Amino acid sequence: MNAKHSQGAAAAAPIPRIALSGIKKRFGSVEAIRGVDLALYPGECVGLVGDNAAGKSTLTKIISGTYVPDEGTIAINGTPVRFATPADARKHHIEMVYQDLSLCDTIDVAGNLFLGREPMNGLFLNRKAMREGARAMLERLEIKIPNLDALVAQLSGGQRQSIAIARAAAFDPQVLIMDEPTSALAVKEVEAVLDLINRVKAKGVTVVLITHRLQDLFKVCDRITVMYEGLKVAERKIAETDLTDLVSLIVGKGHGLGAAA
């Protein structure tokens, strides 16, 4: 009877949208990622934190196809996959918003939203389709940009960040990775971006958030994963941790690996 119960519980266990197992990545003699396991589920936001050189960006670049792991496996909805390029990851509905945003200042809002995926009318850009599509993208996420003809260079930091997120979220990602989305924003703009992250998550998207603004994690995240010198050293449900605990883990005092532990 107990065996049957165990089998039923195992069968009912949710399948991760993405599962990383034993991921390793080296750059020359430096082992940047050292055997990391990570599971990401639909409709959750996972904070990925750690000090500089902890391995956060390297790990997310493996998920998004920028780097190929030297060892380990990646599975999407239980099926093993291999990403050689970011295009491979996008085919599996994985998008990443980089810290530099990758926006073009000399192009307008609509042009940036469709950058690299422009609708064409024969040999020419279909400007009408771009404007209508851009308006629909922004409305779906409740983003207010009054003038779609404005150059991105004329927009505030929060508006620029919102455009980068909207562009990534517009093409039905299942996983959206954000690298320091609030690092250079004013307080009001930070709140707007965090609200946007919650709206994206509410649509069932898996969100991975890298940030040094630890207070932001408690407004959007369900879980937090802590990296230290290429290792995943801790995972916390948001209700089971606080800033003091996170800081201790990040600097190496909460897991026995740091020199100061």
Q: What is the pLDDT of residues 30-56, one digit of tens each?
A: 999 999 999 999 999 999 999 999 999
* CATH, domain 18-93+172-251, list 3.40.50.1000, 3.40.50.300, 3.30.310.80, 3.40.720.10: 3.40.50.300
Helix (H, G, I), strand (E, B) or coil at 45: strand
Looking up tokens 């920028």 gives 66
Work out the mean pLDDT of the chain and round it to a whole number: 90
Task: Extract the tokens encoding 245.
Answer: 């605990």
Query: Residue 114's pLDDT band (boundaries 50, 70, 90)?
Result: very high
Largest CA distance in the chain: 68
Query: Residue 133's pLDDT band (boundaries 50, 70, 90)?
Result: very high
Q: What are phi and psi of 169, to 5 degrees?
A: -80, -15
Residue 125 CB neighbours (<10 A)? 15
Inter-residue contact 176 to 169 (CB < 8 Å): yes
Nearest to 155 by CA among 198, 215, 114, 110: 110
